[in-house]
Amino acid sequence: MSKMQINITVNGKKQELLAEPRELLIHVLRERLGVTGPHVGCDTSHCGACTVDMDGKSVKACTVFAAQANGADITTIEGLGGPDGLHVLQQMFKEHHGLQCGFCTPGMITRAYRLLQEIPNPSEEEVRFGMAGNLCRCTGYQNIVKAILAAAAELNAAKEAAQ
């Protein structure tokens, strides 16, 4: 199968590679680039374990062709924390026991990262709706919601303090 030239930026690093037309973004990330934070949970875009941020939108990398990501700027869970530590969402997931087995967590946090930019001060209902594309079988969601709300509060407080 003829391969295509793909240029993408992953977590701030430019990557060039040849990909088959049928190759999915999640496989490029995981198998070619060794970025194994995003996981494959279902292959049908229903579970969100593969969620990454692509040009400012949450996408499910299991249903994005690598070719569609050509030229895109991709952020995965590995790229969320700054050089000096964890993103506040990562901290709040730890603090509020928003994870158990951890398998859905990278997608969950990456989706929440975008959600809090879409709705900086969400209600609980907006969080539950905004996270509806991400499945978790362990936590029952209560502590995930709590962690996201706590992160939103902290981010907003920091924003206010900066103003």
Partner 1 sequence: MRESRDRIYPLDNRTASHMFANLMAHACICFRVGMTDQGNEIKMNVAPPRFGSKSLVGSPLRRKEDDAFVRGAGCYTGDIAKENMLHAVVVRSPMASGSFVIDSLDEALAASGVKLILTAEDVAHMSDLPAMGMRKGPDGIKAPYRNIPVLCRDKVRYVGDAIAFVVAETVEQARDAAELLEISFEGAEAVIDTGEALADGAPPVWPDADSNRAYVNTLGDADATAEAFKNAHHVTVIDFVQNRLVSNYMETRAAIGDWDGERNRYTLTVGSQGVHGTRDIVSRILGDDAELRVITPDVGGGFGPKGFVYREYPLVLEAAKRLGRPVRWVGDRTEHFLTDAHGRDNVVHAEMAMDGEGRFLGLRIDLTAAMGAYTHQFGVAIPWFGVTMSTGVYDIPALDFTLTGVFTHTCPVDAYRGAGRPEAAFLIETLVDACARDMQLAPDEIRRRNFIRPDQMPYRTPGGRLYDVGEFAGHMDRAMENADWAGFPARLETSKARGRVRGIGMASYIEACAFAGSEPAFVALQDDGTVTVDIGTQSNGQGHATAYAQFVAETIGLDINAVEVIQGDTDRIAKGGGTGGSRSIPLGGVSAYRAGEALATKIRKIASEELEASPDDIELSGGQAVVAGTDKAISLADIAKAATDPADLKAEAEFKQDEATYPNGTHICEVEIDPATGIAEVVRYTIVDDFGMTVNPMLLAGQVHGGVVQGIGQALLEQTVYDETGQLLTASFMDYALPRAGDVPNFSFETRNVPSITNALGIKGAGEAGTIGAAPAAMNAVTDALYRAYGVTHINMPATPAAVWEAIRRARE
Residues at the site binding partner 1, with contacts judged by CB under 8 A? 20, 22, 30-31, 34-44, 46-47, 49, 76-78, 81, 86, 90-91, 93-97, 99-106, 109, 124-125, 127-129, 131-132, 134-146
Question: Among residues 10, 62, 20, which one has the least CA distance to residue 39?
Answer: 62
Angle 102-103-107 from CA coordinates, rounded to 5°: 100
Q: Which is closer to partner 1, CB of 71 or CB of 137?
A: 137
C-beta of 45: minimal distance to partner 1 in Å? Answer: 9
C-beta separation of 80 from 87 below 8 A: yes
Helix, coil or strand: residue 8: strand
Of 8 and 145, CB closest to partner 1? 145
**φ, ψ at 91 (rounded to 5°):** -65, -40
Minimum distance of partner 1 from residue 148's CB (angstroms) = 10
Q: How far is residue 102's CA from residue 82's CA, in Å, rounded to a whole number?
A: 20
Comparison of 135 and 162: residue with beta carbon closer to partner 1: 135
Residues 90 and 98: their CA atoms lie apart, in Å, by 9
Smallest gap, in angstroms, from Cβ of residue 36 to partner 1?
A: 4
In the bound state with partner 1, the residue whose beta carbon lies nearer, of 9 and 45, is 45
